[in-house]
Amino acid sequence: MMTMFEHLSAGERLGELLFGLIMTLTFTLGAGIAVGDSPSASASLLYATLGCNVAWGVIDGALLMLGRMFDRGRLARLGDAIAAAAEERDALDVVAQELDDVLVPVTSERHRLALYRDVVANVRAGPRRQPRLDRKDFVAALAVFVLVFGATLPAVLPYLVIRDAWVAQRVSNALLITVLFFVGYRWARYTSFRPLVAAFVVVGLAVALVSLAIALGG
């Protein structure tokens, strides 16, 4: 049975999860400075963190659908250019400009040309369709929301059980960094990178980005 997350590529899942974690870490550190150590600081940070990630989950899901519409519109434009080409060579040039970067390193010129001719023939013979969103795109947007919002949970748990805002914030940040380490470790299985190296790189990059964001007033 297909889950909602299978409508996202491994890279998209990683990117959205890291986005949620880094944004949450930046927000909790920045908001922690703003609210200080007042008696209501933990509650303020709890509600603010949840609200922030709900908002960004919705925004990021909408941006995912916008990006997919853009890609389909671009491919539809390429299809129109192929169909409108007066000569086969012109149509083949359109295909080559789109696919050469991917296929040149892994194919011979003869087989690549045969593939491009097949692409041209199929595009010209097929119907022209207007780009649109479908159910899978909305499911993918929901998956993005779940990933971004899910990144909030390790951050909010300490504020539910620890009254001291300073301690709760430090525990929250430690949990977020731990999750970042775990994400980097698991993500390595999709690559040729060593798990521990990937984990430390992800944590180091996240900390650097958070530090930069806070230094710039983010």
What would the pLDDT profile of 111-138 be if each residue is shown by its tens digit? 999 999 999 999 998 888 888 999 999 9
pLDDT reported for residue 212: 81
For residue range 9-34, list pLDDT tens digits in order: 888 888 888 888 888 888 777 665 55
For residue range 150-183, list pLDDT tens digits in order: 877 888 888 888 877 778 878 888 888 898 999 8
CA 144/CA 59 separation, integer angstroms: 10
pLDDT reported for residue 1: 42
pLDDT reported for residue 218: 55
Sequence-distant (≥ 6) Cβ neighbours of residue 40 within 8 angstroms:
none
pTM score, whole prediction: 0.78
> Is pLDDT of 217 > 70?
no
Tell me the CA distances in angstroms from 133 to 30, 65, 102, 141, 166, one per residue in order. Answer: 37, 7, 26, 11, 45
On average, the pLDDT of the chain sits at 85
> Is pLDDT of 40 > 80?
no
Q: Which amino acid is at 97?
A: Q
For residue range 70-94, list pLDDT tens digits in order: 999 999 999 999 999 988 899 999 9
Residue 158, classed as helix, strand or coil, is: helix
- Over residues 57-65, mean pLDDT: 92
User: How many structural domains comprise the chain?
Assistant: 1
CA 180/CA 205 separation, integer angstroms: 10
Using the Cα atoms of residue 194, residue 196, residue 201 and residue 202 in order, give the sign of their dihedral: positive
> Is pLDDT of 96 > 90?
yes
Domain that holds residue 39: 4-215
Direct distance between the N- and C-terminal alpha carbons of the chain, in angstroms, rounded to an integer:
41
Please list, residue by residue across 64-80, b when 16 or more beta carbons sit within 10 angstroms of its beta carbon and e when fewer do. beeebeeebeeeeeebe
CA 139/CA 143 separation, integer angstroms: 6
Give the other-Cβ count within 10 Å of 215's Cβ.
Answer: 8
pLDDT reported for residue 44: 74
